[in-house]
Structure 1
Amino acid sequence: MPQMNVESFNLDHRAVSAPYVRVADVKELPGGAVLTKYDIRFTQPNVAHLEMPVVHSLEHSVAEAVRDHADDVVDFSPMGCQTGFYLLRAAAPDLPGTMAVLADTLRAVTEQTEVPAANEVQCGWGASHSLEGAREAAAAMLAAREQWGQVMAEPGTDDPTTHATTHDDEGRP
Structure 2
Amino acid sequence: MAEVESFTLDHNKVIAPYVRVIATEKGPKGDIITNYDLRFAQPNQAEIPTGAIHTLEHILAASLRDRLAGIIDVSPFGCRTGFHLIVWGEISATDVAIALKETLKEIVEEIEWSDVQGTDAKSCGNYKDHSLFSAKEWAKLVLAQGISDLPFERHIV
TM-score normalised to structure 1 length: 0.81
Q: Secondary structure at the match of 2:51?
A: helix
- Corresponding residue of 1:112: 111
TM-score normalised to structure 2 length: 0.89
Name which of 49, 63, 66 aligns with 2:64: 66
> How many pairs align?
152
Quote the Cα distance in structure 1 between the aligned partners of 2:79 and 2:71. 22
Q: Percent identity?
A: 37
Matches within 5 A, 1:18-37: 18-37=16-35
Report the residue type matching 1:113 in the other structure. Answer: E
Alpha-carbon displacement from aligned partner over 1:1-38 (angstroms, at most 9, x marks no partner): xx961111000111111111100111011232211111
Matches within 5 A, 1:93-104: 93-104=91-102
Quote the Cα distance in structure 1 between the aligned partners of 2:23 and 2:142. 22
Runs of 5+ consecutive residues of structure 1 not aligned to the other structure: 153-163, 167-173
- Corresponding residue of 1:45: 43
After the TM superposition, which segments of 4 or more aligned residues of structure 1 sit over 6 Å from their partners? none
Alpha-carbon displacement from aligned partner over 1:72-117 (angstroms, at most 9, x marks no partner): 1000000000001010111124112111221222222222111321
- Rg bigger for which structure? 1
- Corresponding residue of 1:148: 148
Quote the Cα distance in structure 2 between the aligned partners of 1:132 and 1:150. 28
Quote the Cα distance in structure 1 between the aligned partners of 2:142 and 2:122. 30
Quick check: 2:18–2:97 contact (8 Å CA) kept in 1?
A: no
Q: Secondary structure at the match of 1:99?
A: helix
Q: 1:165 to 1:68 in 2, by over 3 A?
A: closer
- Corresponding residue of 1:123: 124
Q: Secondary structure at the match of 2:45?
A: coil
Runs of 5+ consecutive residues of structure 2 not aligned to the other structure: none
Point out the structure with the larger helix share.
Answer: 2
CA RMSD of aligned residues (A): 1.7
Quote the Cα distance in structure 1 between the aligned partners of 2:121 and 2:71. 25
Alpha-carbon displacement from aligned partner over 1:40-62 (angstroms, at most 9, x marks no partner): 11111111100011110111111
Q: Secondary structure at the match of 1:82?
A: coil
